[in-house]
Amino acid sequence: MRTIILKSASSYLLPVLLLFSVFILLRGHYLPGGGFVGGLVAAIAFVLDAFSNGLDKTKSVLKFHPGFLMPLGLLIAFFSGISPIIFTDMPLMTGLWAENPIPVIGYIGSALFFDLGVYLVVIGASLTIIFTISESA
């Protein structure tokens, strides 16, 4: 699919889609969205790039193997789960929330870090699957 339209569009779509995926990730606590959907959108951004520019180019954009994101995401989610044990005396998975909202992002809580972990795991898993399939095809 080396069409000139897709090729020129994808160079703009990659950052826009990534930004959109972060937006979906952040609005996910009270509104539709969240880590899973956000992760899928981010993965689509890279898949679209791979379609138009080829797999090798996308891999060089990514700089590391996407599979690495899976344990990283799991680790972030894991620490968000046990953070109440570490920082307070409350039981596992209690929601911790910052007192004051941060501009643009809003209130930050341990749930956000869980979502961030899901986001990274979804990107890692879907990109690993898609890259492996297109390599062997």
Site string for other proteins, 29-68 (x = CB under 8 A): --------------------------------------x-
Helix (H) or strand (E) holding 121, with range, is: helix 110-136
For the bound state, the minimum distance from the C-beta of residue 119 to other proteins, rounded and expressed in Å, comes to: 16
Query: Which residues touch 128 (CB under 8 Å, ≥6 apart)?
Result: 65, 66, 67, 70
Does position 19 interact with other proteins (CB under 8 A)? The reply is no
Helices 55-62 & 110-136 angle (0-180, nearest 10): 150
Torsion of CA 67, 69, 71, 77, to 10 degrees: -150
| Strand, helix or coil for residue 103 | coil
Question: What's the DSSP call for residue 100?
Answer: S
Q: Which is nearer to other proteins, 45 or 118 (CB)?
A: 118
- Residue from 15, 54, 95, 101 touching other proteins (CB under 8 A): that is 95
CB of 91 to other proteins, least distance (A): 5
Q: How many residues bind other proteins (CB under 8 A)?
A: 16
Binding site for other proteins (CB under 8 A): 67, 70-71, 74-75, 78, 82, 84-85, 89-95
